[in-house]
């Protein structure tokens, strides 16, 4: 099939060696760095799910079993590149510079949350990490990410975009619009499809009649590859190759990373309702964390002591962050008028003052018209 390689690229072989043709050349320091973040991601998944069950946070979207696909792809990008996430990629955001406390504040939706509690938990953003805001509608990040990359190309900026989406998003309008636009305009984008077997409760075989998701790039003139999404080395190699092509002006690449969602779609989902209890058996030995750890230990670059020390340090850090987040105040009601525009407009100021006056009246206070709350007199355009 022209334009797509149906072969599933693998680097970490069963005998513990690396296939030279797909070896990304990671140093031991780099490999340990990514592995630590994979462990952090797994631990956060477990603890945040527990917090949701306790009623302390409202929601969590996990990535159990998909850590290599997520962390490996983000690691392969450069600092100047921008990430357009789906909603499972919190581990990659932390790896790229999203402050740990900011992430935990977002989970609690407190006044320190960068999105002021306006979004669901796991819906964060970080200019520092070059991380666009997570948005729940399926597939919308695809057109946004492609458009951002095209704009950068017009401005002759050396950057590319990594766009995450699941197999279910390939049925969205934005996938087809984004693919077509990227192909026509040679947008420097890496379109990364995590084929984890499920779109909530819809299995892959009911999502598409095509043999692969990668082949969907053919009609749009977008070269496509398939990669073992549980093989960290193969993911890094595939994304680095796609990034090099994009940076050289070659345009976009569609990557289908084959992995498996070992948990539910979210904490609001019970996967046992639609898949058999034996569904995970074939994936246990392909656990991405286990594969990387075995490789490191085989070469004397990791130990049980290091593993335990890492987990304890992560738990201590998490407990401290949760304590801070739970003690922080709720977002201020009037903050809903901030960040709508770069500067608040006169009509937003007017609405804000009216809201605060009503709140004061409801509490039996003299209306302040907002002056005591940090914003001055309302001025219409004509004043």
In 3D space, the residue among 235, 213, 232 whose CA is nearest the CA of residue 286 turns out to be 232
**List 53, 274, 299, 332, catalytic entry:** 274
> Which entry of 261, 286, 293, 352 is annotated as an active-site residue?
261
Q: Is 265 a catalytic residue?
A: yes
**Helix 288-298 with 28-53: angle, nearest 10 deg:** 140
Dihedral of the CA atoms 203, 211, 141, 249 (nearest 10)? 160
CB contact at 8 A, 71 and 37:
yes
Which stretches does DSSP call E strand in the chain? 4-9, 82-84, 161-166, 189-195, 198-199, 202-203, 224-228, 253-258
**The token pair that represents 120 in the structure block:** 């669901």
Question: What are the two backbone dihedrals, phi and then psi, of residue 220, each rounded to the nearest 5 degrees?
Answer: -105, 5
Residue 12: beta bridge partners? 18
Catalytic-residue membership of 274 = yes
Q: Is 128 a catalytic residue?
A: no
**What span, in angstroms and rounded, lies between the C-alpha atoms of 43 and 324?**
19
Rounded Cα–Cα distance for residues 249 and 158 (Å): 10
Task: Output DSSP code: residue 21.
Answer: G
Task: Give phi and psi for 365, each to the nearest 5.
Answer: -100, 160
Catalytic residue among 265, 286, 291, 352: 265
Q: How far apart are CA 343 and CA 224, in angstroms?
A: 43
- Six token digits for residue 209: 């009649």
Q: Catalytic site residues?
A: 261, 265, 274
């Amino acid at each position: 099939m022209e334009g797509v390689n149906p072969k599933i690229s693998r680097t970490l072989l069963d005998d513990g060696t690396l296939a030279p043709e797909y070896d990304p050349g990671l140093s031991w320091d780099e490999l340990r760095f990514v592995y630590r973040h994979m462990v952090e991601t797994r631990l956060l998944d477990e603890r945040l799910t527990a917090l949701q069950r306790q009623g302390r946070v409202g929601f969590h979207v996990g990535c159990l079993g998909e850590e290599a696909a997520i962390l490996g792809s983000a690691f392969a990008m450069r600092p100047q590149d921008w990430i357009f996430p789906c909603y499972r990629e919190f581990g990659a955001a932390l790896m790229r510079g999203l402050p740990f406390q900011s992430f935990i504040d977002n989970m609690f939706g407190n006044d320190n949350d960068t999105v002021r509690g306006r979004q669901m938990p796991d819906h964060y953003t970080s200019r520092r990490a070059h991380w666009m805001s997570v948005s729940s509608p399926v597939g919308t990040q695809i057109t946004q990410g492609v458009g951002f990359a095209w704009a950068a190309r017009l401005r002759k900026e050396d950057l590319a975009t990594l766009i995450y989406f699941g197999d279910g998003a390939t049925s969205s309008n934005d996938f087809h619009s984004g693919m077509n636009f990227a192909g026509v305009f040679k947008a420097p984008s890496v379109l990364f499809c995590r084929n984890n077997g499920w779109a909530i409760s819809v299995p892959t075989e009911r999502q598409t009649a095509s043999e692969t998701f990668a082949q969907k790039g053919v009609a749009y003139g977008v070269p496509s590859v398939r990669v073992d999404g549980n093989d960290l080395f193969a993911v890094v190699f595939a994304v680095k190759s796609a990034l090099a092509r994009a940076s050289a002006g070659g345009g976009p690449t569609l990557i289908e990373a084959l992995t498996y969602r070992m948990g539910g779609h979210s904490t609001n989902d019970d996967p046992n309702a639609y898949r058999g209890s034996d569904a995970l058996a074939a994936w246990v030995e392909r656990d991405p964390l286990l594969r990387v750890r075995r490789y490191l230990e085989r070469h004397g670059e990791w130990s049980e002591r290091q593993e335990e020390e890492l987990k304890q340090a992560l738990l201590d850090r998490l407990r401290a962050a949760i304590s801070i987040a739970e003690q922080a105040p709720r977002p201020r009601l009037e903050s809903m008028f901030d960040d709508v525009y770069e500067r608040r407009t006169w009509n937003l100021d007017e609405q804000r003052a009216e809201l605060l006056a009503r709140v004061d009246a409801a509490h039996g206070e003299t209306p302040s018209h907002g002056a005591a709350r940090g914003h001055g007199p309302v001025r219409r355009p004509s004043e």
